[in-house]
Amino acid sequence: MRILIEGKSHINYLAKCHEAFRTGLRATFDTRLFGKGYPGYWPFIRTYTQIIKKTFHDSQPDILIAHSHFPDDPKGFKYEGISEVSAIKTFVLGDYWQVSEHFKQQFVEYVNRNRIDFILSYYIQPLDIWKETSIADRFIYLPPTFDPAIFNDWRISKQYDVGFLAAGTTNYTDFYPERFAIHQMLLKKTGIRYLWSEHPGWKVRKSHPLIGVNFSKAINSCKIFITTGGIYKNAQPKIFEALASKVLLMSDEPLGSKEIGLQDGINYVRISENDVVSKIDYYLAHPNKCEEIAEAGYQLALRKHSCYARAIDFYKKVSPKLAAPHA
């Protein structure tokens, strides 16, 4: 399978799931990239036809994964002529709420106008949001993923009992009200070693102590790590990053938990702001159970959610479309 990915490199971006997905595809298929930060990028190209010619020369890709700028850019794509590309055309939909809250119908028109064959969604909610529209069958649910070279078990001694490193903990936001409430309770709790920090911001340097591998090592240094899904109950990337960093993950139950493979008390612990403190106390008092759940979560992450596993998920989802006629 030949894949062309158009979009700037995310290798130095705070969120590591985007480049991780590309890493899995590059290791598994004939995947070529065109965008700022990748070798061979040429800023004067104007069309997708020119990109294909530059990256694949005399052959054609089977799939084009383009970068969508909708709704920020009325055209939606940086380059011209996507509707004329013969390859199967798709893009990744991440923060869907920025689209669904104000541009739900416009998004349908955008997908149809550009003759997009399917949409890769990090979250399961869009499959329900657009289920009554003409593009309902074009959504493919592919949860966030991780690169094992960045998130793994670093075998660091457990210097902390609890870690909570996320946006909305130290500064209240309407998007994550539960995070602020939990953080306030943990600040008042005595008898635990608590790792927390302000969110580093999106424009960060590679040397920041809580980015990439260092973030995974910080998680790995905790017995318990907390995250939550916010008002939309999203299966955030931190869920997969925490599991992959081999820690007992405590989280509210995200939508799509069954598809992800999460099992309360088996490979993670379901919490709310009402019971998180009591559950922390219980699992700190039962270290063997804490370690067993962390191990099960780690194995789930490696087996089902690494970037290499996600590349196979991608193939299984798109292979029927490769065999079928498309626009």
DSSP letters along 193-204, please?
A: -EEE-----SS-
Burial class (CB in 10 A: 0-12, 13-18, 19+), 73: exposed
Residue with tokens 């997969």: 240
- Record the tokens describing residue 200, joined without a space: 């580093």
Among residues 230, 231, 302, 225, the alpha carbon closest in space to that of 261 is found at 302
Phi/psi at 188 (5° precision): -85, -15
Global confidence as pTM: 0.95
| Rounded Cα–Cα distance for residues 270 and 27 (Å) | 34
> Three-state DSSP class for 65?
strand
| Rounded Cα–Cα distance for residues 327 and 325 (Å) | 7
The DSSP 8-state label assigned to residue 301 in this structure reads I
The pLDDT value given to residue 320: 86
The DSSP 8-state label assigned to residue 41 in this structure reads -
Q: Would you say the CATH fold of 160-305 matches that of 2-145+307-323?
A: yes
Could you please state the CATH topology (level 3) that the domain comprising 160-305 is classified under.
Rossmann fold (3.40.50)
Tens of pLDDT along the chain (327 residues) come to 999 999 999 999 999 999 999 999 999 999 999 999 999 999 999 999 999 999 999 899 999 999 999 999 878 999 999 999 999 999 999 999 999 999 999 999 999 999 999 999 999 999 999 999 999 999 999 999 999 999 999 999 999 999 999 999 999 999 999 999 999 999 999 999 999 998 887 776 667 889 999 999 999 999 999 999 999 999 999 999 999 999 999 999 999 999 999 999 999 999 999 999 999 999 999 999 999 999 999 999 999 999 999 999 999 999 987 866 554
Instruction: Answer whether 176's CB lies under 8 Å from 230's CB.
Output: yes
55 in the Ramachandran plot: left (φ > 0), alpha (ψ -120 to 50) or beta? Answer: alpha
| Rounded Cα–Cα distance for residues 162 and 306 (Å) | 24
The pLDDT value given to residue 325: 54
| Rounded Cα–Cα distance for residues 11 and 39 (Å) | 13
Q: Which CATH number is associated with domain 2-145+307-323?
A: 3.40.50.2000
The pLDDT value given to residue 324: 64
**What DSSP letter does each residue of 221-282 carry, written as one string?**
TEEEEEE--GGGT---HHHHHHHHTT-EEEEPPPTTHHHHT--BTTTBEE--TTTHHHHHHH
**Domain ranges, ordered by start, for the chain:** 2-145+307-323, 160-305
